Amino acid sequence: MSELRQNIATREWVIIASERARRPNSFTEHRQQLLTAERPQHDPQCPFCVGNEELDLEVDRYPITGPWQVRIVRNKYPALHGDRPLVRHFEGVRRNISGYGYHEVLVEHPHHNTTLGLMTHAEVRLVLATYLSRGLAMSSDPRIEQVVIFKNHGERAGASLPHPHSQLMAVPVVPADVRHRIEEARRFFDDTGQCVFCTMLADELAQRERIVYANDDFVAFVLYAASSPFHIWVLPRKHRASFFHIAEAELDGLADVVREVFHRLYYRLNDPDFNLVLRSTPAKEAENGYFHWYLAIVPRLSYMAGFELGSGIFINPSIPEACAAFLRE
């Protein structure tokens, strides 16, 4: 029987449509296009491939000399610009800020035909370490309020280029969605004296029904109130509000979980399109007891339609516990 479930961290409701739920293996992609690993290792038309580098856009690379492993480049068509003054304008109902900020691309690997689930542990760790170093650099700008790091893989996830890459954007405001999540976390803390994310994590570890993979530092699980099939959160076991305060040693554990989860998604669901989003506190907000940074992994296996747009309630045609069991196998 179908039921409504609530995500206690966001207070958002979802409908788990169990009466019309599909078996987890039915979400395995039957793709007409090539899988990532089946593409050529080098595409002469790809601007991110070795030999095609647009050096005037390059911000940084690692290693600095010799063949590169990762590169940071300014987005060729940026949504925000770091060379403009920050100007605020308020007049009546008209409120605007000049388009100041940063919009960079992290080219994750020299090979055109790989993705996080196919990379080595060291390669994934380097991607995450670059998230950390560039995020810290952007946060040091006093005009920046929020750093947003995300990855789009596949057309349904919004990727315009297939070469493995992530994007980093820094904006001079705290987005409403981020503020909403923080306020809900603060409300839970005021009511209970506990971090809502730590509470969720403790419950998942006790039940173990929705855990996909875990190690000593991180736990990956399908959400109890998943808004879509195989919607996964990766939470650190240690409470920390900001990803940018992560200990260097913890990057190994995070790389292990990220690689393992994406490895399973790649092979169990046949290289699905997905979004990866890093959720962290605003740049100027110190560590606190109520928010807990995490990674959200959202395979694009279902579609948003009129009911979702009209109500804000998603219909999930899968059962989270079955999805987690499918990935654990």
Q: Residue positions in the annotated binding site for Zn(2+)? A: 46, 49, 112, 163
Grouping H, G, I as helix, E, B as strand and the rest as coil, residue 10 is coil
Which position among 109, 111, 165, 231 bears the catalytic label? 165
CA of residue 166 relative to chain centroid, distance:
9
CA-to-CA distance for 99 and 73, rounded, in angstroms? 19
CA-to-CA distance for 32 and 22, rounded, in angstroms? 21
CA-to-CA distance for 157 and 167, rounded, in angstroms? 13
In 100-195, alpha helices (H): 121-139, 176-192
Q: Are 295 and 144 in contact (CB under 8 A)?
A: no
CA-to-CA distance for 46 and 41, rounded, in angstroms? 11
The verdict on whether 263 is a catalytic residue reads: no
250 phi, psi to nearest 5 deg: -75, -15
CA-to-CA distance for 190 and 174, rounded, in angstroms? 22
34 phi, psi to nearest 5 deg: -65, 145
- With tokens 């007891």, the residue in question is 289
The CA-atom distances, in angstroms, between 269 and each of 11, 35, 52, 324, 326 are: 29, 11, 32, 12, 10
Residues flagged as binding site: 46, 49, 112, 163
- Residues marked active site are found at 165
